[in-house]
């Protein structure tokens, strides 16, 4: 999922979603809200870059 936000003069916001059957460009407000909410949930649950690096290092060492 990629979120594109443009200056109002150029274009309204767009979400690009790619799946097995191809890609979709979504522009409806309901779709944009749903994708923004999903993005907010994903980023809230994600580790910080340093914490991600620590986890990757630990997993690499554990699997030798």
Decide if pLDDT at 46 tops 90.
yes
Decide if pLDDT at 8 tops 90.
no
Decide if pLDDT at 11 tops 90.
no
DSSP structure string for 2-64: EEE---TTT---EEEEEETTEEEEE-SHHHHHHHHHHHHHHHHHSPPHHHHHHHHHHHHHHH-
pLDDT tens for each residue of 12-31: 899 999 999 999 999 999 99
Of residues 11 and 18, more confidently modeled: 18
């Amino acid at each position: 999922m990629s979120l594109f936000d443009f200056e109002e003069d150029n274009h309204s916001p767009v979400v690009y979603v790619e799946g097995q059957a191809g890609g979709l460009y979504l522009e409806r407000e309901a779709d944009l809200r749903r994708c923004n909410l999903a993005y907010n949930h994903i980023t809230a649950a994600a580790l910080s870059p340093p914490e991600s690096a620590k986890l990757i290092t630990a997993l690499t060492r554990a699997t030798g």
